[in-house]
Amino acid sequence: MQSFPPARIRNVALVGHGGAGKTTLTEALLLCSGTINRQGRVEDGSTTTDFDPEEVKRGISLSLALAPFEFAGHKINLIDCPGYADFVYDVEAALSVTDLAVFVVSAVEGVEVQTQVAWRMAAERGIPRMIFVNKLDRERASFERTLDQLREVFGAGVAPLELPIGEEAAFRGVADLLTDTAITYDGGAPSTGAIPADMEASEHQVREALVEGIVVADDALMERYLEGDVPDPKELEDTLAKGVAAATVFPVVCGSATKGVAIDRLATFICEIGPSPSDRPGVSVQAGGSTHEVACDPGGDPLAYVFKTLADPYVGKVSIFKVLSGTIRPDAVLTNPRSHADERLHSLFTLRGKEQVQVSELPAGDIGAVSKLSDTATGDTLAPKGTPVTVEAIPSPTPVLSIAIRPKSKGDEDKLMTALHRLQEEDPALQVRREDETHQTLLAGMGETHLSIVTERLQRKFGVEVESEPVQVPYRETITKTAEAEGKYKKQTGGHGQFGVASLRIDAAERGAGFSFVDQIVGGAIPRQFIPAVEKGIAETMAQGGHYGYPVVDVTVTCFDGKYHPVDSSEMSFKMAGSLGFKEAMAKAGPIILEPISALEVVVPAAYQGDVMGDLNARRGRVQGTETTPTGEQVIRALVPTSELLRYAIDLRSLTGGWGRFTTTHDHYDALPQHLYDKVAKKED
């Protein structure tokens, strides 16, 4: 693939709700440009960008995929983004390197949840946006209804550039509002003609509103227009392009990806009114404690940002990056400021789905890939040696759902951890941790589908089969009153025996105080050298579990008396005496179970506030307060037992139709209600 200057590059992310037709539109654009000779189908897994077996099996995109093509003297780096909530991190990764987000909206379903989520993300980054209304050939499709919804949700900046000709199965073309002409697609090449008579009046009305909306952004144009001089289409287009680049105008075009109607026009609009990398503000970088902007200049120092990593057990690691400055050529050596590793970029290529297309160079603004970088991960910057310049990486999202996993084959523990590490390189939204208290390996992600995909990939890519089990809640125990007991360990065998007696008193400490040991031995009742053994025996017993089988916390243990034998006493005998004495005293001291309490923050549309708060009450939650965001959403803060939130990601999604989102953090431990003891207490073997 040849090299293009920044002004001729368009980096475009296709975003929107799952099922809106982003992958089908990607296929249609590749076909329209002559890059492929037949359009693949999502249903049979023959598309360019959905090639993973897990994607084919489910018929949905699971990660971002690159699909570059050439059109009208431009290179368009198209990024097909997943539309399912579990994979929203990849949408953010794509938006971090694109200069235009094309929102694909179904004319049947309208504006859905993930479309609004992606719009909010793009708005926060100030990314130019345009909208493609798809599926106009489908039953119950309505452009007018969808346009009204777009204006209601996204505001006055939404500006239609086209109107559909024909409805549902009769949809056959579009009316171009800029040129006041009709373009129809009756089974062959597009043909241009006059606006159909039955829609002439409505088209002129919409066109007049569009022209007024465009000229208001240019004083000179506005003055001419008020004097009766209507700007020509080229002038309108140039002014429109400025509004798009400033992210104040959001053009709406329409078509059908499956029928191929108006796909060429979408590609044309991307080239003509979509901003190039050089039209966008410079990238903010950090160097030596200060921040400055780096311009998109092919002649500058080479600088690249890795926004996606692919883990392949055969090919190795593939790093996909955007060139922010300079021109990168094969065998260039750049340094990773985070790892301080020098990385040689041997063979440069771009990806079209899973196909590697070799490139001779990648100038500023372009997107490419390289394999087998030794110490570079997603979010890393590659810079010239001795230039510690870094781009702020996208923060990893907070996981919302965890499962406990273990390998089916006992000898696969090391293999499992290696495979998980490789998958984490590919997917920063995935987290793995070992829970010491419950001795479980926890796999945490963005939802049920996300975790299901990970377990499938463990087996397919790395040959590791895993079993899942319920996540154990790390309960703890403490006491409610003071108690005393004598721990006596006596064992007689041939030769030396074992003898040790420790008199203990245990008291409840403040919540969160932990364990403290008080030595009150006087008169040598227990020799000094054996007292640490008593404390050690108590500490180990507390960790192993108290009366109900959970680690004991927040107690003060005082050793106030004891007995020893000059021959048979030893560290072991007093360690056992401390353990036995603690167990007996614990049983007398009113032991209770403590459960972890999480601080929960839920953000939902106002319509769901009552349902969510009722659900939190049913989960034994205590609402701490609510507030309204500037966008009208409700923020609910509550303290909820952790055990009640293990599947909250699934339940909240169901309760709110996917609109709700939440975060949790551990807050404190509190006494477990008595009626739950039978359910929670560990049964003795």
pLDDT exceeding 70 applies to what percent of the chain?
Answer: 99
pLDDT exceeding 90 applies to what percent of the chain?
Answer: 81
Distance CA 484, CA 560 (A): 10
8 Å CB contact between 412 and 464: yes
- Per-residue DSSP letters for 292-317? EEE---TTS--EEEEEEEEEETTTEE
Give ∠ CA 416-421-427 in degrees, rounded to 5. 120
DSSP helix/strand/coil, 186: coil
Q: Which of 507, 544, 548, 556 is nearest to 682 (CA)?
A: 548
Report whether pLDDT(244) > 90.
yes
Sequence letter at residue 280:
R
Highest mean pLDDT among 236-240, 354-358, 483-487: 483-487
Across 437-448, average pLDDT = 92
Each residue of 269-294: pLDDT tens digit? 999 999 999 999 999 998 877 888 99
Instruction: Collect all residues with Cβ–Cβ distance below 8 Å to 481 and sequence separation of at least 6.
Output: 508, 589, 590
Backbone angles phi, psi at 617, to 5 degrees: -60, -40
Name all domains of the chain by residue range, CATH numbers in brackets.
6-168+247-279 (3.40.50.300), 283-391 (2.40.30.10), 401-469 (3.30.70.870), 477-590 (3.30.230.10), 595-680 (3.30.70.240)
What pLDDT score does 683 carry?
62
Report whether pLDDT(314) > 80.
no
Each residue of 120-157: pLDDT tens digit? 999 999 999 999 999 999 999 999 999 999 999 999 89
- Per-residue DSSP letters for 421-488? HHHHHH-TT-EEEEETTTTEEEEEESSHHHHHHHHHHHHHHH---EEEEPPPP--EEE-SS-EEEEEE
Q: Which of 464, 489, 578, 465 is nearest to 530 (CA)?
A: 578
What pLDDT score does 685 carry?
43
Each residue of 202-217: pLDDT tens digit? 999 999 889 888 888 7
DSSP helix/strand/coil, 196: coil
Residue 671's Cα: distance from chain center in Å? 34
**Long-range pairs, 147-156, Cβ under 8 A, ≥24:** 147/252, 149/110, 149/111, 150/105, 150/111, 150/252, 153/111, 153/116, 153/119, 154/111, 154/119, 154/250
Residue 28's Cα: distance from chain center in Å? 28
Instruction: Collect all residues with Cβ–Cβ distance below 8 Å to 425 and sequence separation of at least 6.
Output: 309, 311, 317, 377, 378
pTM for the full predicted model = 0.89
Each residue of 2-33: pLDDT tens digit? 899 999 999 999 999 999 999 999 999 999 99
Report whether pLDDT(482) > 50.
yes
Q: For 607, which DSSP code?
A: G
